Amino acid sequence: MGKKELDTRFARFGTVSFAGVTQVNDFVDYLEDGRLMGTKCNHCGLYFFPPRAHCCQCLSGSPEWFEVTGEGRLVTYSTLHYAPAGFQADLPYTIGLVDYGQYKVFGRLSPSLGEDALHVGMAMKAKADKTAAGQVTYVFEAA
């Protein structure tokens, strides 16, 4: 066997990709196929989003992928007028936390949703998306 190539798929994710190499790089391939995925521990059944390769509860390293589908409920949201380095060009943008019952997903809300259209508890659904620079990402829309 030759030397294994570096798997840098995660560099294709998000406005600023903080992790070029992870153990959950399939996340990016799924997202390019339009599917937002998390992981579920095969041993104890705990759900993870963002996906994890190892379970923090039972330390098992055998996760399976699950798709974030259906409707979640908006738990909280905030519109940013100041941003971390690398995100300034996107301002203002709104981030939120959506509860799907067995897991919660953090992410941006669609820019088409004005703040007047938002309220805690509203039904949301996740959608694969692209940034202006062509990176893969996901956003929440009203369900």
The footprint of Zn ion (CB under 5 A) covers 41, 43-44, 46, 55, 57-58, 60
DSSP string, 55-87: -TTT----EEEEE--S-EEEEEEEEESS--TT-
Nearer to Zn ion, 42 or 78 (CB): 42
Closer CB to Zn ion, 14 or 38, in the complex: 38
Q: Minimal distance in Å, beta carbon 142 to Zn ion?
A: 33
131 by DSSP, 3-state: which? coil
Name the residue nearer to Zn ion (CB basis): 11 or 46: 46
Indicate the residue among 21 and 58 with the shorter CB distance to Zn ion. Answer: 58
CA 58/CA 121 separation, integer angstroms: 32
**Ranges assigned E (strand) in 2-135:** 37-41, 47-48, 63-67, 72-80, 93-99, 104-109, 123-130
Tell me how far, at minimum, the Cβ of 117 lies from Zn ion, in Å.
Answer: 38
Q: How far is the CB of 30 from Zn ion (least distance, A)?
A: 21
Q: For the CB of residue 49, give the shortest distance to Zn ion in the complex, in Å.
A: 15
Record the tokens describing residue 37, joined without a space.
């995925």
Question: What kind and span of H or E run contains 142?
Answer: strand 136-142
